[in-house]
Amino acid sequence: MVAVLVAGCGSSGTKTVTVISSSSTSTHSGPVISTIGSTSATTTTSSSASGATSPAALVQVVHLATFKSPSGNIGCVIIAGTARCDLKQRSWSPPPRPKSCPDIVDFGQGLIVLASGPGRLVCAGDTALDPSAQTLAYNTDTVVGGFRCESRTTGVLCTNTGDGHGFFIARETYRIF
């Protein structure tokens, strides 16, 4: 089976062509996707505890250095060797402020990861929340300067592509790794 989707991209005259095919002789369990254009599409699968894989989900890849989540609750920026996301509202509390974070700035309003090493809580007097930033739609990733951030209905996951460290941030929870 082969399906071809052709879509115009604005008035520039360029077109994005996505080809989805599957073959009964292939060892690949999901569709094969090739995209020609300014954005790309990839597939992801998830595994259950039993090892079974679910159908592949189409994920669009763009290149935004500043973005917000569709809900507007998360704002992120990728700049100067860092990826950072801040929250407007959260239902979790950060750990106690470290002595290295002065009282004149905020602590724990977001998470940050550098080009190497694990993510950490933000200690800063500014914010990554930009109401005029472009929205990074759910099931869309942005890749900029050695970082990948993934927008999902559950929150935003950002990792550095060098050593795989990063963070997950959402209204209900966070995780640094």
Rounded Cα distance, 55 and 59, in Å: 13
Mean pLDDT of 6-24: 34
Residue among 76, 24, 31, 75 at smallest CA distance from 53: 31
Report the DSSP beta bridge partners of residue 61.
40, 141
Token representation of residue 39: 């954005």
- 5, 18, 85 from 149: Cα distances, Å: 26, 22, 10
Q: Tens of pLDDT along 42-59?
A: 444 333 333 333 455 688
CB contact set of 50 (below 8 Å; sequence gap of 6+): none
Neighbours of 85 (CB within 10 A): 31
Q: Tens of pLDDT along 138-154?
A: 999 999 999 999 999 99
What's the mean pLDDT when you consider all of the chain? Answer: 78
Residues 158 and 170 sit within 8 Å (Cβ to Cβ): no
- Provide the residue type at 177 as one letter: F
Residues 86 and 108 sit within 8 Å (Cβ to Cβ): no
CA angle 114, 117, 122 (to 5 degrees): 50
pLDDT of residue 58: 85
Q: Is the pLDDT at 169 greater than 90, yes or no?
A: yes
Instruction: Give the max Cα distance, the chain.
Output: 63
